[in-house]
A and B are shown apart, each in its own frame.
Chain A
Amino acid sequence: MERRDFFKGAAAGAAGLVVNKVSPAEATPVPSRPRIKRPTEADEFGYAQARGGANAGAAASAGAARYGSDLMVDVLKKLGFEYAAINPGSAFQGLHESLLNYGGNTPEILTCLHEEAAVAMAHGYAKASGKPMVVMVHGTVGMLHASMALFQAWADRVPVFLIVGEHRNPTGIINAPHSAQDMGAIIRDFVKFDDEATTPERFVESAMLAYRLAMTPPMGPVALIVPAELQEVVLDRPVRIPELTIPSPPQGETAAVREAARLLVNAERPAIQISKIGRTPKAWDLMIELADTLQAPVQVGTNGSWQKFPSWHPLYGNGGRGYTPDVLLGLEVGEMSNQARTARESGRKTISISSELLFQHSNIHDYGHYADVDLAIAADAEATLPSLIEEIKRLVTPEKKTAMAARGARVAAAHKEGQIKAIEDGRYGWDASPVSVPRMLSELADQIKNDDWAIVSGHQFTGDWQRKLLNHDKPWRYNGDCGGFGIGYDAPASVGGALGHKKAGHLPIGIFGDGDLNFSPGVLWTAAHHKIPVLLVIHNNRAYHAEVMIVQRLMGERGRDVSKANIGTTITNPNINYAQMAKAYGMYSEGPIENPKDLAGAFQRALAKVRAGEPALVDVVSQPR
């Protein structure tokens, strides 16, 4: 049947609903909501029957029919997805139904109250578990809600598997805006791959390809646009689902790795800088081995994710005062232009090993500036570390080993001295109200000292206190930051990260600001509804404090009134009670806590809930930083 003919038939059917009037007495029971048969592309797709087709009803009533969306569920199962975060939409109702009745709710549906929260949950989950999560959203509207979190996942190089339902041939005024000529174009700047499936076979192929690309470094979110009509088509032939193979990530070219090793071994003050390294737990041990072999300090980027190096390791840090590296090795550091420029000016060397050199988009400027490093190796740093370490070991002579050990001892002493001083700095404002950040974290550290904990939020607004006061001594201790320097990530990513830790039995803790929570507070309900154990600590400073400072500084620079910096930057008058907010969403909560002496009891009670398998929130009214 031509599409034109189909529409003709649908129109005639619709007209019949209007014209064939009968008196109430003659009326036979009809559905309360007569439905116009929606357009289908079954014939275009090469299938004889679609929902509402002549034979489909009989097949469906017998429960024997197999739909396009059933096949999609088979694919999702084959790919090993455990969860599907959704905010429901008619454009993927076929898939929704199949997940529940055909798939037995596997992957398990996570009900989200906002698509941004759904994607951010998947973001946090992927970093904690190493696996992507499915997120299903409605065309245009749902996808646009999701877009901010997709951007963050893109900037963080984290896999998310997005399925966008679409009414390809929309009827009426509601679905029309939910259709687009090129749906993927809306998010193409910040997904690694998008495709619109037009046949069941194409869906299978695209899904496998999307998963493969999402998981190949540099990783990233992917999107499949799936027409509602394709979900609802009745399958009339088997469709093969191929096996999944993930390519091994590229190692650095041998000669280049040897040159990097030569530069590092011959350096007097080598240093290592890491950012988005750590996509698997193996990176943890490799990073320690590299640092120990070289006896070089490891600088951890402030906003890096997948970053793996123990915060209390003797070689953690920048080497101490006066340690200017003569060779700097960047591992998955996206932006090294400053380091390269200043190094060249003084005859020092820089090396970059990064998968970022292999793939980029051109619109979002997260690719940074051109860095004229001395040696650029386009490769996955984690995959390259074994050969780099081997080459370094091969080049280390006994004399060099002695010199390296002496260097390492100096670095370790400087690091230890700096950290002890930092811990001592925590005593300032110890009894202050609002509560100081180090007091808040010290109280928490005491309560979890015997737990196998994991920080599932970022730390960009608590300074570096987490790494100073909490020993990040396991690869899962810290899940990294958002990637794109946006807010609204931490609350949902903490819940998703907690889910990623559930099997391992880690105690997940999210520590983030009130400003962040206000973007997706509905995720509190999701955590409560699905009984996701996580402790959420709200660093409630009642402002977007970075902006308070920035606006005030500019006012001063311009010689103008500095007294208005609160307008548009503070969250007061009225103050928001986040403990009450959590209760409203069905989550156990404590606070708002203004007296630091109340913290211990609050954490104790909240953690008891979390250890019992529930989420809990502690609202701490805190100092700005």
Chain B
Amino acid sequence: MRIHLAIALLVLSSALAAAQAPATPSTPVAPTGDAKHGKELFESNLRCYACHGYDGQTGSPRLVPMGRAQDAFVAYVRKPSGRGMPSFAATPERDLVDVYAYIRSIAPAAPSVDSLPLLKAIAERRAKAN
């Protein structure tokens, strides 16, 4: 029942530092996996959603748009460089390839702030605050 918040924050911050998708995607080659199966893994068995959000972009770090190439992605999730990201070393490569395919299939759902009146209003209020 105890909350290991400090650890959770470490997990998040480490994950953010270590695993964030590059800001400028290098247009990796097309994925070869099964995106449908990858979605199932993402949301159930591997539970990627827990940190990254169900759509890969509401958690930390965001996975969409994915900047890593497939091989680099598989290598990274098997041996992440940060402490926050779990290692999926025991997960079959096929599954990781499918997860990659799913992540690549997610359309970035990030409309501009100007197109979102609520968020735009908050940004304006913040700008006026000082």
Asked whether A313 lies within 8 Å of B112 as measured between CB atoms, the reply is no
The CA-CA distance from A442 to B8 in the complex, in Å, is 25
Query: What residues of A have a CB within 8 angstroms of the CB of B72 in the complex?
Result: none
B residues near A, CB below 8 A?
A: 1-9, 11-12, 44-47, 49-51, 53-55, 57-60, 62, 83-91, 109-113, 116, 118-119, 121-123, 125-127, 129-130
- How does the 8 Å CB contact mask read for A128-140 relative to B, with 1 for contact and 0 for none? 0000000000000
Known contacts A434-B54, A566-B47; is-contact A561 B90 (Cβ 8 Å): yes
A interface, over-half SS: loop
CB pair B50–A423 under 8 Å, yes or no, is no
Please give, as numbers and ranges, the residues of chain B lying within 8 Å of A313 by CB-CB distance: 130
Contacting residues, chain B, for A445 (C-beta < 8 A): 118, 122
Output the nearest chain A residue to B130 by Cβ-Cβ distance.
Answer: A314
Number of A-B contacts (CB under 8 A): 161
Across the interface, name the chain A residue whose C-beta is closest to B115: A427
A442 touches B47 (CB 8 A): no
Q: Is the CB of A471 within 8 A of B125?
A: yes
Residues in B neighbouring A460, C-beta threshold 8 A: 3, 5
- B109–A429 touching, CB < 8 Å: yes
A554 to chain B, nearest CB (A): 8
Q: Are B58 and A623 in contact (CB under 8 A)?
A: yes
Which of A426, A437, A449, A549 lies at the interface centre, i.e. has the most chain B CB atoms within 10 A of its CB? A549
Q: Which bucket holds chain A's interface residue count? A: 35 or more
Q: Shortest distance in angstroms between B97's beta carbon and chain A's nearest beta carbon?
A: 16
**Which A residues touch B1, using CB under 8 A?**
486-487
Could you list which residues of chain A lie within 8 angstroms of chain B, going by C-beta atoms? Answer: 302-303, 312-314, 412, 416, 419-420, 423-424, 426-432, 434, 436-438, 442-443, 445-446, 449, 460, 463, 469, 471, 473, 485-487, 543, 545-550, 552-557, 559-563, 565-566, 623-625
B residues near A552, Cβ cutoff 8 Å: 47, 50, 86
Contacts of A420 in B (CB 8 A): 123, 126-127
| Contact, CB under 8 Å: A623 / B89 | no
A486 close to B123 (CB less than 8 A): no
- Contacting residue for B55 out of A429, A449, A547, CB 8 A: A429
- The distance from the CB of B110 to the nearest CB of chain A, in whole angstroms, is 5
Contact A431 B130, beta carbon cutoff 8 Å:
no
Contacts of B50 in A (CB 8 A): 543, 545, 548-549, 552, 565, 624
A623, B91: Cα distance in complex, Å: 25
Which residue of B3, B58, B109, B123 contacts A485 across the interface (Cβ within 8 Å)?
A: B3
Supplied contacts A445-B118, A485-B5, A549-B11, 8 more A-B pairs, CB within 8 Å: A426-B122, A427-B113, A446-B118, A549-B50, A553-B85, A565-B47, A625-B53, A625-B58
Partner of A423, one of B5, B91, B122: B122
In the assembled complex, which residues on chain B have CB atoms less than 8 Å from the CB atom of A487?
1, 3
